[in-house]
Amino acid sequence: MANRWVPLESNPDVLNSWSSKAGLVTSQDEFTDVYGFDPELLAMIPQPVKAVVLLFPISEGYEKSRKEEDAKIIKEGQHPIDSTILWIKQTIGNACGTMGLIHALANSNVTLAPESALAKFIEQSMDKSPEERSKLLETTPLFADIHAQAAAAGQTVAPSANERVDLHFTCFVQAPSPPSREEGIEVEDDQRRLIELDGRRGGPIDRGVCSDLLQDAARFIKETYVPLAQSLEFSMLALAPPAA
């Protein structure tokens, strides 16, 4: 990753600034802090939640688990992923914040301003491979400018582009379960699935049946990410309607 950006700070002001500049109509949806995994705290978030963005600490345990899971998916496969999911391979260093935001907004039922940077990017990306989408992102200066402006708007001094940062963004969305086939007969499956979208992985990852995006994402994060962490530098944000 020769091309590197300044890391984004994980707070609602920064993510909403990025989203607004990219084209999200923030009067209808915005990012808000999720303060914990307890049901009472989750219940404070307006519904419907359309995406969950997580900033988490990278540890040796996580890296080992990540590589093992990616290898297992390559070897054994996983539950089919909805074909409309847009996933991008991360090829720009420290761009995981922008990757998480694009994954969240592109795979949610949100309103984007016509002709906005994100609306155009999604339209141009739909028929491209994840690698081609990466090249498009690398050569689209609008996103580099939006990322830089958002990074400068944080409450803390942003690290330099070349500084090693052991924190990473990932994203969770809800998607339909594709039709399955049994003995050559197509079987409709109306279940929703929890999908994790992380540009460092091999592709979208199915995380199981999803009946409530926020609750199911929080449960998965608590059970899977937290035990592997060596620090508590977690930040979870939900894309949801503005609080009344």
Catalytic residue numbers read 96, 168
Q: Are 143 and 98 in contact (CB under 8 A)?
A: yes
Q: Which two structure tokens, joined as six digits, stand for 90?
A: 């991360």
Return the beta strands (E) in the chain as ranges: 30-34, 51-57, 167-176, 180-182, 185-187, 192-197, 205-209, 235-240
Q: Are 36 and 117 in contact (CB under 8 A)?
A: no
- How far apart CA 162 and CA 7 sit, in angstroms, is 10
Dihedral, 151, 170, 94, 83 alpha carbons, nearest 10: -110
